[in-house]
Structure 1
Amino acid sequence: MAKATPAPTPKAIIAPHAGFIYSGSTAATAYGTLAPVRSRIRRVVLLGPAHRVGFRGLAATGADFFRTPLGDIPIDREAIAAVADLPQVVFLDAAHAEEHSIEVHLPFLAEVLDDFRLVPLVVGEARTEEVAQVLERLWGGPDTLIVISSDLSHYLSYDEARKQDSATAHAIETLDVGAIHPQDACGRYCYVLRNSRDIVP
């Protein structure tokens, strides 16, 4: 794993979900910031945008663990139960079955953290307030990490991408949601939901 520049230990990180060859070093840098607290983090709430299945809300899984080449990662059933009564939370394993926005983070988490449980949520068509309500319930203390899975620009030259991604990062840091356009960050709007016939009620 790449060595990260020393930085304050984050409560939440945004890390990419593109193929490892494209974004692995960036993800490794983000996850490297967790090394000082690897034994403290016991719960990881991982939100990734839906790419394969269209649905409304946030999809939880009924699985007890996710299997990886580095071992099984247990699912935090207690945490999922804490949000299961919210109308925007649905149980939809089909949304998880081939969702790379969740899957690509698992090796990094397994490598950098000690014993932890995972709360994986695939985000479909959901309002900001709905996602915030789920996060508020799951926020927890210093033993809980929030991971937001998002790729930034895919379509620009390297120099243009650096400039655009810097502007997107600034918009995130200053909470200027209006400055982030759908093409600037995967998950800003879920493109699989453009065709409403694909949405699962």
Structure 2
Amino acid sequence: MKNIRQPAVAGLFYPDDEHRLRAMVRDFLLDANTAGPLPKAIIAPHAGYIYSGPIAASAYALIKQGRDVIRRVVLIGPSHKIGFHGIAVSHADSFATPLGNIPIDCAAIEKILDLPFVKRLDEAHLLEHSLEVHMPFLQAVLNQFELVPLVVGIAAPSEVSSVLERLWDDSGTMTVISSDLSHYHDYATAKRIDQATSVAIERLRPEDIGHESACGRIAVNGLLYSAREKGLTARTLDLRSSGDTAGPKDRVVGYGSYVFA
């Protein structure tokens, strides 16, 4: 019997109806005004779609050109529900969304399981939204692909970079780092902090991204180490906050989309 990880935030962060969800993602992608080459990696936010969907779409719109090229997506996001040490993989054979099931690349997971900080921990995936909200976007822009879903707990950026190194060379592999930016500052303060974070990302300077910069900073910084080592360049596609999309301006969450090529 197949082991399927069921959606945890369908109907909360995004529509649980297939047709409404498909239409919402389609409209976000159509409204995205971005151009450029197919990226090797992206950073995109993971909030409710009314808040961060347009910002995430600016990166996913570029991935559409890899529809028949990308066969594996390494999706890495922070743990919001449980605390643990290391990086968690799942026992699941597939992850479900209202748009269907995404198969897990079990062979890729086997390539990283010998790393001492990688462990199977289904509890880290069960209710986690940081990966799930990206999956409908991936299903909308790609044809057949397999997923390597990784939830980061208490870990070092170098550990994330080590995982990426194991899976990087395949030309059909794309990395998606899930992260929001600053949390619960007033609009002006958030804008200042998030702009500094964007500069750090574009300059590939993980040492400039601290605790308040991004909730997924460990994964972000791991990607920056890898990108710097491999000579990639980073570009900001969109930088806004919940104060720009669907929320008040007194306590905002920052969202940015970035591509690495």
Same structural fold, with TM-score higher than 0.5 when normalized by the shorter chain: yes
Cα-to-partner distance string for 1:129-169 (whole Å, 9 max, x where unaligned): 21111110011332100000000122234444333222101
Q: Any idea what SS the aligned residue of 1:59 has? A: strand
Cα-to-partner distance string for 1:151-189 (whole Å, 9 max, x where unaligned): 012223444433322210111222222321211101226
Matched, 1:51 2:84: no
Output the CA distance in 1 between the equivalents of 2:94 and 2:218: 28
Please, which of 117, 122, 127 is the counterpart of residue 156 of structure 2? 127
Matched, 1:153 2:185: no
- Partner residue, 1:196: none
Please, which of 34, 50, 54 is the counterpart of residue 25 of structure 1? 54
- Partner residue, 1:195: none
- Partner residue, 1:194: none
CA offset at residue 15 of structure 1? 0.5
- Partner residue, 1:89: 118
Please, which of 67, 71, 91 is the counterpart of residue 100 of structure 2? 71
Q: Any idea what SS the aligned residue of 1:8 has? A: coil
- Partner residue, 1:4: 33
Quickly say closer, same or farther: Cα 1:189–1:129, change in 2 above 3 A: closer
Higher relative contact order (CA 8 A, sep 6+): 1
Cα-to-partner distance string for 1:42-86 (whole Å, 9 max, x where unaligned): 000000001111111100011000111001000000000110111
CA offset at residue 9 of structure 1? 1.5
- The ranges of structure 1 where at least 4 consecutive aligned residues each deviate by more than 6 angstroms after the TM superposition are none
Matched, 1:144 2:173: yes
- Partner residue, 1:198: none
Q: Which moved more, 1:151-160 or 1:84-93?
A: 151-160
Please, which of 179, 193, 196 is the counterpart of residue 208 of structure 2? 179
Instruction: Could you tell me which runs of 5 or more consecutive residues in structure 1 were left unpaired when the two chains were aligned.
Output: 191-201
In structure 1, give the amino acid aligned to 2:172: D
- Check conservation: 2:157, 2:218, Cα contact below 8 A: no
TM-score scaled to structure 1, two decimals? 0.89
Quickly say closer, same or farther: Cα 1:141–1:4, change in 2 above 3 A: farther
In structure 1, give the amino acid aligned to 2:217: R
Output the CA distance in 2 between the equivalents of 1:93 and 1:115: 24
CA offset at residue 90 of structure 1? 0.3
Output the CA distance in 2 between the equivalents of 1:177 and 1:41: 27
The 5 A counterparts of 1:95-134 are 95-134=124-163
The 5 A counterparts of 1:33-48 are 33-48=62-77
- Identity rate of aligned residues, in percent? 56
Q: How many residues align?
A: 190
